[in-house]
Structure 1
């Protein structure tokens, strides 16, 4: 990622976070009269962060060389950033101060060890797949192949969840909370773009999505960031109907950039029988329909 691009991302990220805050939310007195800016003024952020207006203006323009962790922490607190946003800002600052460094994470890796497939296949009560940080699905178990049949039904290999969400009309039927999954997909990619600024494959994927999907481009420009870690996802499966499943995203320390995503059904859930019926759909063996790995993630 070129240095100018990183500085622009820092500027837009800070500006967007400032715009979402009001004096009331920030605990500042709201004086009468019409405000000419959306959200807080620069002077108000500077006041909250205990820095000068000139220094904050410099930071918001993307000039973060030499900024200390203490200043970043004060700024994050002033802007009420959550943990994901704090980590994102720190990653952008690192990228800006070392724009040409070689990244130490291959977020687009397409290699899945045989033992990982064995782990997936052993999860007979959960739908599980391995994905990389580009949201490519690299390996699946039987229940995941049945659950994600539409997403896996693509000529492009490996299948990519962001391409499915923003490029396949079936996604809006499959995800009952399509807006939520679209937010998470874009936020995950933006988080990874900051962590791996030299990742040309990821940049190509983002350019492709923004070119072909106005919805993606709009969400990308919002500079929201997200970690897909745990929660509940609501599906509508074309064969078994509605499914409310608990998900967990488990990072794999031995394989940086790879994550096992599992979907399980809560005990006594009304979706239990429908979830179990997924076993009757899709191929039994991994070789029949597992995503094929390749040297190019996108």
Structure 2
């Protein structure tokens, strides 16, 4: 049952969050001696959250009916959750308290409007693509096709960035910080899984990656969550070399689950000449790839 799965996710998430905190990190006095748990005890979390041990134990078991926002805030503070983790916990609680029916594409739209493609095409000085919440790449501009040629070069349609990261050996060369992008990809999928617990297509993707990649399986079991917003990503492009690009993820309000991702670089920044080379490379007709018809 979906509800049982969500309750298990709540249990694992709360357990993993308290396991990462020592009493010292939580501001508690550690009286020494052998501790039988990794990180905080349930009683210590309850103390920090100003709730009873019995109530916290019930919450950690996934019995979250009627839990208030104030209690969630107290738990978030006690466990030192960041904003993304706090939102993830709230999404799990909502999912546990709301009946869900199975659906195959919730958050995983497969088409983009023509006007979105026009926006991408107008961005001639930036890498830009549209992805859904499953990390499927649905539309690209010329520079994105030049940068992501290897990721787009797949028989699986639409191309999926998580599959590329964990199942294509070229990804470890392409992403110079492979560990970082792997962490972000799993964290993004974990966040979406909490938001759409009845999403069978997403569940199938996760099951595929868990079964095919021990790296993915280990990261999935860590219950870390991420929200891809902005920052810097380091690439190695086979034609132009190293690129350290600034990225921004822009949600599309009119199309739930769709995000425009852009990569840019200041003209005076390091690797500016390589970025210029990528722009020039994008004007060369590509060999047949998944997105040549866009």
The two structures have a TM-score, normalised by structure 1, of 0.94
Aligned residue for 1:232, secondary structure, equals strand
- CA 1:212–1:292: 2 relative to 1, 3 Å: farther
Aligned residue for 1:24, secondary structure, equals coil
Q: CA deviation at 1:44?
A: 0.3
- CA 1:192–1:148: 2 relative to 1, 3 Å: same
**Deviates most, 219-228 or 274-283:** 274-283
- CA 1:176–1:286: 2 relative to 1, 3 Å: closer
Aligned residue for 2:64, secondary structure, equals coil
Counterparts of 1:1-298 in structure 2 under 5 Å? 2-100=2-100, 106-282=106-282, 289=289, 291=291
Q: Give the gaps of 5 or more residues in structure 2.
A: none
Q: CA deviation at 1:106?
A: 3.1
Q: Is the 8 A contact 1:133 1:257 kept in 2?
A: yes
Q: Is the 8 A contact 1:145 1:283 kept in 2?
A: no
Residues matched between the structures, number: 292
CA distance in 2, matches of 1:292, 1:205: 25
Q: Is the 8 A contact 1:129 1:262 kept in 2?
A: yes
**Deviates most, 105-114 or 63-72:** 105-114
Q: Give the gaps of 5 or more residues in structure 1.
A: 294-298
CA distance in 1, matches of 2:101, 2:53: 31
- Larger RCO: Structure 1 or Structure 2 (Cα < 8 Å, ≥ 6 residues apart)? 1
Q: CA deviation at 1:99?
A: 3.5
| Aligned residues: CA RMSD | 1.9
Q: Is the 8 A contact 1:140 1:286 kept in 2?
A: no
Aligned residue for 1:226, secondary structure, equals coil
CA distance in 1, matches of 2:142, 2:241: 18
CA distance in 2, matches of 1:8, 1:280: 50
Q: Is the 8 A contact 1:117 1:139 kept in 2?
A: yes
Q: Is the 8 A contact 1:129 1:140 kept in 2?
A: yes
Aligned residue for 1:9, secondary structure, equals helix
The two structures have a TM-score, normalised by structure 2, of 0.95
Q: Is the 8 A contact 2:8 2:62 kept in 1?
A: yes
Q: Is the 8 A contact 2:149 2:289 kept in 1?
A: no
Q: CA deviation at 1:158?
A: 0.5
- Structure-2 residue corresponding to 1:296: none
CA distance in 2, matches of 1:109, 1:197: 16
